[in-house]
């Protein structure tokens, strides 16, 4: 992990991640959210979407979970993690996930689009990723399972929250302290998947 930008060289969590052996500063966002909301517990099966370089997978393994990680980009091997290189919108990727496991205690996603600097374009690309992660969560989450996904704040945020919250007993939008102060990212946190709103499982 090398500082690529001035903000990295000045960033507390970047250097903290480097010192403590995490693959990305994003690890601290999941650690903070897990302490606050109890998303991942020992012996959970966790599906980590947009996982590379692996900061969130590292945290999940530390918490005692077994992880299936998915990303378009390659990821270095990690003990306790089965990595699938693929597109989360692809039926082939879904089949590869099912070959390992067809249900998970938690689905987590910290994926981001490539940032263009165009606020509206970046927001809508983020929405596409967020919705793709939610389709996977609806299909692979166990009843009572937990879901956390990043989105960029914008005009679609209220619609996404309104859509997602129907499927969870506990639902919240949250920004952990480790998020960069200038970032527009926010996380949807859902706990207790199903309840009286238990959906039909997507097939593909």
Determine, yes or no, domain membership for 5: no
pLDDT at 195: 52
Catalytic residue among 31, 138, 150, 191: 150
Determine, yes or no, domain membership for 104: yes
> Which residues on neighbouring strands pair with residue 23, listed in sequence order?
none
For residue 190 the two structure tokens come to 């859902």
> Closest Cα partner for 114 from 50, 201, 42, 55?
50
Sequence-distant (≥ 6) Cβ neighbours of residue 111 within 8 angstroms: 49, 50, 71, 88, 129, 133, 150
User: How far is residue 84 CA from its own chain's centroid?
Assistant: 15
* Omega of the bond leading into 168 within 30 degrees of 0 (cis): no
Could you tell me the residue range of the domain that residue 62 belongs to? 25-197
Determine, yes or no, domain membership for 97: yes
Q: Is 150 a catalytic residue?
A: yes
Calculate ∠ Cα 131-82-63, nearest 5°. 85
Determine, yes or no, domain membership for 134: yes
Determine, yes or no, domain membership for 30: yes
- Contact at 8 Å (CB) between 162 and 115? no
Sequence-distant (≥ 6) Cβ neighbours of residue 131 within 8 angstroms: 160
Determine, yes or no, domain membership for 32: yes
Residue 92 belongs to domain with CATH number: 3.40.50.150
**How many domains are there within the chain?**
1
Determine, yes or no, domain membership for 11: no
pLDDT at 10: 56
pLDDT tens for the chain, 204 residues long, are 554 544 444 578 788 888 887 899 999 999 999 999 999 999 999 999 999 999 999 999 999 999 999 999 999 999 999 999 999 999 999 999 999 999 999 999 999 888 888 878 888 899 999 999 999 999 999 999 999 999 998 899 999 999 999 999 999 999 999 987 777 899 999 999 985 444 444 333
Determine, yes or no, domain membership for 14: no
Crossing angle of helices 55-62 and 27-37, rounded to 10°: 40
* Longest CA span, the chain: 49
């Amino acid at each position: 992990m090398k500082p690529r930008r001035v903000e990295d060289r000045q960033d507390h969590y970047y250097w903290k991640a480097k010192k403590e052996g995490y693959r990305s500063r994003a690890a601290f966002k999941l650690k903070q959210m897990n302490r606050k909301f109890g998303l991942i517990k020992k012996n959970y099966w966790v599906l980590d979407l947009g996982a590379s370089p692996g900061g969130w997978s590292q945290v999940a393994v530390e918490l005692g979970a077994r992880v299936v990680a998915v990303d378009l980009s390659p990821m270095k091997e990690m003990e306790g993690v089965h990595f699938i290189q693929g597109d989360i919108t692809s039926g082939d990727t879904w089949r590869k996930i099912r070959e390992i496991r067809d249900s998970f205690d938690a689905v987590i996603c910290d994926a981001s689009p490539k940032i263009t600097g165009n606020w509206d374009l970046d927001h809508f690309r983020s929405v596409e990723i967020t919705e793709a992660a939610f389709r996977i969560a609806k299909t692979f989450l166990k009843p009572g399972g937990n879901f956390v996904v990043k989105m960029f704040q914008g005009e679609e945020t209220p619609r996404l929250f309104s859509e997602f919250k129907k499927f969870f007993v506990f639902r919240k939008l949250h920004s952990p302290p480790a998020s960069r102060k200038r970032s527009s990212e926010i996380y949807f946190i859902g706990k207790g998947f199903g309840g009286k709103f238990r959906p039909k499982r997507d097939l593909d």
